[in-house]
Amino acid sequence: MALTDYQTALVTGASSGIGAATVQMLAARGLKVHAVARRLDRLLALKECGDVVPHALDMQERDALYDVLGDLDVDILVNSAGVGSQFDPFQELDPDKIDATLTTNVAGTVHAVRAVSPGMVAQGRGHIVNIGSIFGLHAISTAVYGASKAAVHRFSQDLRHDLKGSGIRVTEVSPGRAATEIFATMTDDAKAQGAMVDGFEIITAEDVAEAVVWALDQPWRVNVSLIELTATEQIPGGVTIHPVTSR
């Protein structure tokens, strides 16, 4: 079931980065795109790309999420909404920011799927794309963010079992460092933000959106389960040795 078989998409986190790039590409392919994010002004700007319907919504507000998304009839859901965790050591993290990360990245993703999947099941077709991260596949750093994206990975894998026989495909796209605004959600320190992108050319939001569209555009018999997407010079994993003082 290629993109030509779909008519309507829903993209969360649509006001910037991967979400905005995905909205633009899907609208350019002739789809009606429901764009969801908190910043209405940015969503309104996306209407220039094509048939884009803005919805100002905070993914942490569960009841509002169901009120808005539950009434939409969509063929495609792209869960791109997400925030980063702080760079600080885990034991120093702000508990409110821990909750914001887990609620947005995990609960927001799960509830968005729960809101729209009954309509997909009823029509016997659909495609759910969850934006994960290599932080959810490899032990790198930022335990809370990594845990949230590991949950997205497991959710995506198990969701395929739950939806077996429904005609709905499930894809997870897990990018490495990408040129988006997510680093600003991790720290206010401009130097620390710069350190995340210095030293090699990182992938762009458009690179990730292209991967999303490619997965959506496969024939129905093909389910692209997982795409891991990194910059050429970014290799996840490895060992870091820290000196330990004597006790």
Which is the catalytic residue, given 145, 146, 163, 208? 145
The contacts of residue 243 (CB under 8 Å, 6+ apart) are none
Cα torsion angle, 91, 94, 95, 100, sign: negative
Rg of the chain's alpha carbons, rounded to an integer?
Answer: 18
Burial code (b: 16+ CB inside 10 Å, e: under 16) for 46-72 equals beebbebebbbbebbebeebeebbeeb
Tell me which residue has tokens 């290799």: 235
HSE-up of residue 102 (Cα within 13 Å, Cβ side): 9
Reference 23, options 212, 246, 231; nearest CA is 212
Tell me which residue has tokens 């040129």: 179
User: What does the chain come to in residues?
Assistant: 247
Kindly state the helix (H) or strand (E) to which residue 206 belongs, with its residue range. Answer: helix 205-216
- For the question of residue 145 being annotated catalytic, the response is yes
Q: Hey, which residues are catalytic here?
A: 145
